Amino acid sequence: MDNWEVGRLAYLVLLLVAVASWFFTQRRGSLSKLLQQAMIWVFLFLGVVAAVGLWGDIRRTVLPQQSVMSTGQIVLPRAPDGHFYLVAQVNQAPIRFVVDTGASGVVMTIEDAKRAGLELDQLAFVGQAMTANGPVRTARVVLEDFAVSPYNDSNIRAWVNEGEMETSLLGMSYLQRYSKIEMTPESLVLSR
């Protein structure tokens, strides 16, 4: 901590002591009620801190997930960011893809490629792709097992992107396997 932060912290501690002292002197006769009210505020504060800390887990639990209809259609709900996400089992590892009809192929992040069991030190990053951030090196791979319940596909051609990506992309080379892709304001429906 630098001198300014120490000074600010000392000021805040003194302010807290002054307010707490005033509060206690005003409520001398009813300290048990004061303690009860203070505990309520402490628990409210802890509840807010816990909610903020666990927000990512809460969002994943509350947000709608992809589902499979009895007709075999895969329904992907629109995420709060406006995109559609699909979770596929790639070599038995769950990988989250953003559905991107503007992408020609399946493109995986380095992290997702590792989770799918691809040996990164054996990949040849000799390809190149143009992204919004400029050119990036890519390595061509074949995904032996690619399952999106109820469909199992094998030998899916994909690329591993050496550049930074937040999420793997599911492009048209995979989406063309579906006979119909229907978008509504709330969802994306894939049918075979």
pLDDT digits (tens, 9 = 90+) for 140-187: 999 999 999 889 999 999 999 998 889 999 999 999 999 999 999 889
- φ/ψ of residue 169, rounded to 5: -110, 140
Nearest Cα to Cα of residue 168 among 138, 188, 191, 145: 138
What pLDDT does 56 receive?
A: 67
pTM over 0.75: no
What counts of helices (H) and strands (E) characterise the chain?
5, 11
pLDDT at 39: 77
Place of tokens 């499979």: 68
Q: Which amino acid is at 22?
A: W
pLDDT attached to residue 66: 72
Q: How far is it, in rounded angstroms, from Cα 159 to Cα 126? A: 11
Helix 31-53 and helix 55-62, axial crossing angle in degrees, nearest 10: 70
- Residue 15 has a pLDDT of 79
pLDDT at residue 29, as a whole number:
67
Provide the H-helix boundaries in the chain: 3-26, 31-53, 55-62, 110-115, 172-175
Residue ranges, the chain, pLDDT below 50:
none
